[in-house]
Structure 1
Amino acid sequence: MSIATLPAPPYYVVCFSSQRTEIEDGYGDVGAAMVELAQQQPGFLGFESARRADGFGIINSYWRDEESIRAWKAVVDHVEAQRRGRADWYRRYEIRVARVERAYGFEAQHVEPG
């Protein structure tokens, strides 16, 4: 996964912090399908994900507005993935929604020695 390329703020971020169970049972396939489905939704801007070996992970999805986030939460396949997550894949999770007002970054420029 790489750092998402996003437009200038303002936009919204949905931060999904989770602790996995040991149950795999389709987790990877459903996760990949949810990323593809999210990318097709109006207002979707980008996605970033990281997971440690102990099962703790954070997924950030970026959206144009709150209406887009509400619409994504209600997509039928996403609702089913949420149900499976609560039943099988997650011990705990927290979702935080925030408006991004400022964003900035850094990228090193590669310089050849010489």
Structure 2
Amino acid sequence: MFVVIFEVRPRPERLDDYRALARQLRPKLEAIDGFIDNERFSSTRRAGRMLSLSTWRDEKAVVRWRTQPDHYRVQQAGRREIFADYHLRVGEVTADSAPPPGLGVEERRFDETEVGAARRVTISEQAPRPGAALDPATLPAALGL
């Protein structure tokens, strides 16, 4: 099992938009093969902070959700327009005192960690200008890759 912990602080004037988008995505979320459940919480310590906790059968189910087209579109809008701040954590569940009915907790990641000589890593997110054509043959060059 995997969980996605999404902590978000919507801009105060966009809180209703955030909630509406979450409601709009709910049926698509529930339709993903491997989705188990999703709960939302409001912080009692930090005003305006919300947490979404979703549980998934396996890592592939999380990837299916992350790449679902409508979800991806809403992610982009959230980053650009709705969120004042957000923090995303994804992890494998290694123990559960009350797993969902019919699902046991078993390790699903058996890949070995590879260590290289590099001392730094750079992660960048690039997006084309609004309205730009996304031709797969020319996109890497347009992004400077």
TM tier, smaller: 0.7 to 0.9
SS of 1:26 mapped into structure 2: helix
Distance 1:16 1:27 in 2: 13
Give the residue type in structure 2 aligned to 1:74.
T
- Larger-Rg structure: 2
| Residue range with higher mean Cα deviation, 89-98 or 38-47 | 89-98
Picking from 2, 15, 20, the partner of 1:12 is 2
C-alpha RMSD of the superposition = 1.6
1:7 is matched with none
Segments of structure 1 that go 5 or more residues without pairing to the other structure are 1-10, 106-114
2:23 is matched with 32
SS of 1:101 mapped into structure 2: coil
Residue 68, structure 1, aligned to residue 68, structure 2:
no
| Residue range with higher mean Cα deviation, 42-51 or 86-95 | 86-95
2:40 is matched with 49
Distance 1:99 1:52 in 2: 24
Segments of structure 2 that go 5 or more residues without pairing to the other structure are 99-145
SS of 1:42 mapped into structure 2: coil
> What displacement does 1:73 show?
0.5
Give the residue type in structure 1 aligned to 2:77.
R
Contact 2:2 2:58 in 1 (8 A): yes
SS of 2:33 mapped into structure 1: coil
Q: Percent of counterpart pairs with the same letter?
A: 25
With the length of structure 1 as denominator, give the TM-score of the two structures.
Answer: 0.75
Distance 1:72 1:96 in 2: 14
